[in-house]
């Protein structure tokens, strides 16, 4: 019984033309564009899809998500038998509907629209340049690879804010078999689908934390698109700037949680579009960790944001897979429990 990754992200937008142009420049291969119904479809090398639809498109389910962004994620499931087991369980307390292509769709108790579909992820091939270092020569009489632009091959993760992080965590953990990977106090929790190997496929962000850009509502934050190297990521950054898109606020950085190198760009389809590369690969031997939020946020960032301008104490521990997210003392307050309160003795 395994969810293997993100099969489709469906953006709900107010500006179809600008959103579609953004993702063409961003490097997602455009498969078709219907200017009558305002539907655009992109498909990445792994076979995952990105759709752009207008807010009033009748395709959408009645979710609680506010604003532009991914209003529905369709998760890929390895087999029909796995899909049946998942939906037999969900049918106990959800109204399920089936699309013509077999996708099962529903809305959770906390108002998120979700789809499940049998999917065979296509293998992808990457060939980043080897690196040379003092005393370690891997690339001899060979130049680095020259990219013309970035062409993401995969969708690595997606992020929304939620009013109740634990309600969301328990649903994905207990009903869809996601694993807790890391817990970032004050920010949210990182979860991985049981059949996937990216550090996380989803981040459940704390919508009660205004520093994350939320207003206590279920809203989209960002999606991460996988490129093969920092060279490809930076070439994509320059390409987007030459095409007239705004510069990234933070520029190139590397998260400490996940080790992923990142470049966030403001996205007219909602939130941010993140070029990501060199992220940790995990399996079920991984032990979850609990992090002080600013320490976990970054190893380095090109343009240091104000919130990490101060010296940051190194603060991380390990926790059990069933650890819950510490909530604030008052409704609407971000959590602030110290890391040591959650560290497992096991
Ligand atoms: Fe991300």
For the cut 60, the answer to whether the pLDDT of residue 330 exceeds it is no
For the cut 90, the answer to whether the pLDDT of residue 338 exceeds it is no
For the cut 90, the answer to whether the pLDDT of residue 319 exceeds it is yes
**How deeply is 79 buried, as exposed, middle or buried, from its count of CB atoms within 10 A (0-12, 13-18, 19+)?**
middle
What is the 221 CA–ligand 1 centroid distance (Å)? 9
Out of 86-100, 148-162, 164-178, 307-321, pick the least confident: 307-321
What is the 201 CA–ligand 1 centroid distance (Å)? 9
Average pLDDT, the chain: 95
144: Cβ contacts below 8 Å, ≥ 6 apart: 129, 231
What is the 26 CA–ligand 1 centroid distance (Å)? 16
Q: CB–CB of 38/53 below 8 Å?
A: yes
What is the 276 CA–ligand 1 centroid distance (Å)? 7
What is the 274 CA–ligand 1 centroid distance (Å)? 6
pLDDT band at 296 (very low <50, low <70, confident <90, very high): very high
User: 220 - beta bridge partners?
Assistant: 160
For the cut 90, the answer to whether the pLDDT of residue 329 exceeds it is no
Share of the chain above pLDDT 70, in %: 96
What is the 87 CA–ligand 1 centroid distance (Å)? 28
Per residue in 102-118, pLDDT tens?
999 999 999 999 999 99
Q: What is the pLDDT of residue 327?
A: 84
What is the 101 CA–ligand 1 centroid distance (Å)? 30
Q: CB–CB of 223/49 below 8 Å?
A: no
pLDDT band at 339 (very low <50, low <70, confident <90, very high): confident
Q: What is each CA distance from 281 to 41, 268, 284, 292, in whole angstroms?
A: 28, 30, 11, 22
Torsion of CA 273, 277, 280, 282, to 10 degrees: 70
Per residue in 194-218, pLDDT tens?
999 999 999 999 999 999 999 999 9
Q: What is the pLDDT of residue 343?
A: 84
Residues in the chain: 346
Q: What is the pLDDT of residue 299?
A: 96
| pTM, two decimal places | 0.96
53: Cβ contacts below 8 Å, ≥ 6 apart: 10, 11, 12, 13, 16, 38, 39, 59, 60
pLDDT band at 277 (very low <50, low <70, confident <90, very high): very high
pLDDT band at 323 (very low <50, low <70, confident <90, very high): very high
CA atoms within 13 A on the CB side of 153: 13
pLDDT band at 161 (very low <50, low <70, confident <90, very high): very high
Can you read off the two tokens belonging to residue 20?
């579609």
What is the 136 CA–ligand 1 centroid distance (Å)? 31
What is the 139 CA–ligand 1 centroid distance (Å)? 31
What is the 300 CA–ligand 1 centroid distance (Å)? 15
Kindly give the pairing relationship between strand 188-192 and strand 253-254: unpaired
Average pLDDT over residues 295-300: 96
pLDDT band at 332 (very low <50, low <70, confident <90, very high): low
Torsion of CA 345, 193, 114, 155, to 10 degrees: 120
Per residue in 126-153, pLDDT tens?
999 999 999 999 999 999 999 999 999 9
Strands in 113-118's sheet, in edge-to-edge order, are 30-34, 39-43, 49-54, 3-13, 69-77, 113-118, 104-107, 97-98
The residue ranges of every structural domain in the chain are 3-123+151-342
What is the 254 CA–ligand 1 centroid distance (Å)? 11
What is the 200 CA–ligand 1 centroid distance (Å)? 9
What is the C-alpha separation between 24 and 20, in angstroms, rounded? Answer: 6
pLDDT band at 6 (very low <50, low <70, confident <90, very high): very high
Was domain 3-123+151-342 assigned CATH 3.40.605.10? no
What is the 258 CA–ligand 1 centroid distance (Å)? 9
Per residue in 280-293, pLDDT tens?
999 999 999 999 99
Per residue in 26-63, pLDDT tens?
999 999 999 999 999 999 999 999 999 999 999 999 99
Kindly give the pairing relationship between strand 289-291 and strand 316-318: antiparallel
What is the 48 CA–ligand 1 centroid distance (Å)? 17
């Amino acid at each position: 019984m395994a969810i293997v990754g993100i099969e489709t992200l469906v953006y709900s937008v107010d500006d179809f033309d600008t959103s579609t142009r953004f993702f063409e420049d961003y490097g997602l291969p455009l498969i078709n564009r219907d200017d009558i119904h305002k539907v655009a479809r992109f498909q990445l090398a792994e076979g995952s899809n990105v759709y752009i639809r207008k807010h009033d498109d009748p395709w959408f389910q009645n979710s609680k998500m506010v604003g532009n962004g991914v209003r529905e994620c369709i998760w890929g499931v390895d087999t029909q038998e796995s899909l049946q087991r998942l939906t037999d369980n969900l049918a106990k307390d959800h109204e399920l509907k089936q699309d013509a292509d077999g996708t099962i769709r529903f809305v959770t108790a906390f108002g998120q629209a979700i789809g499940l579909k049998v999917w065979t992820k296509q293998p992808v091939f990457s060939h980043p340049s080897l690196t040379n270092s003092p005393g370690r020569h891997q690339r001899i009489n060979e130049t680095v690879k020259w990219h013309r632009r970035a062409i993401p091959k995969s969708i690595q993760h997606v992020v929304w804010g939620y009013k109740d992080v634990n309600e969301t965590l328990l649903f994905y953990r207990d009903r869809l078999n996601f694993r807790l990977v890391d817990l970032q106090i004050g920010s949210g929790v990182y979860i991985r689908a049981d059949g996937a190997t990216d550090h996380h496929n989803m981040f459940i962000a704390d919508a009660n934390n205004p520093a994350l850009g939320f207003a206590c509502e279920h809203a989209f934050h960002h999606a991460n698109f996988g490129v093969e190297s920092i060279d490809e990521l930076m070439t994509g950054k320059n390409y987007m700037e030459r095409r007239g898109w705004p510069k990234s606020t933070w520029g190139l950085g590397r998260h400490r949680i996940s080790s992923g190198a990142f470049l966030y760009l403001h996205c007219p389809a909602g939130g941010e579009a993140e070029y990501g590369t060199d992220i940790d690969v995990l399996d079920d031997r991984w032990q979850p960790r609990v992090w002080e939020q600013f320490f976990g946020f970054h190893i380095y960032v090109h343009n240091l944001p104000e919130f990490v301008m101060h010296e940051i104490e190194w603060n991380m521990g390990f926790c059990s897979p069933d650890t819950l997210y510490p909530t604030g003392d008052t409704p609407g307050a971000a959590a602030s429990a110290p890391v040591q309160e959650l560290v497992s003795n096991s």
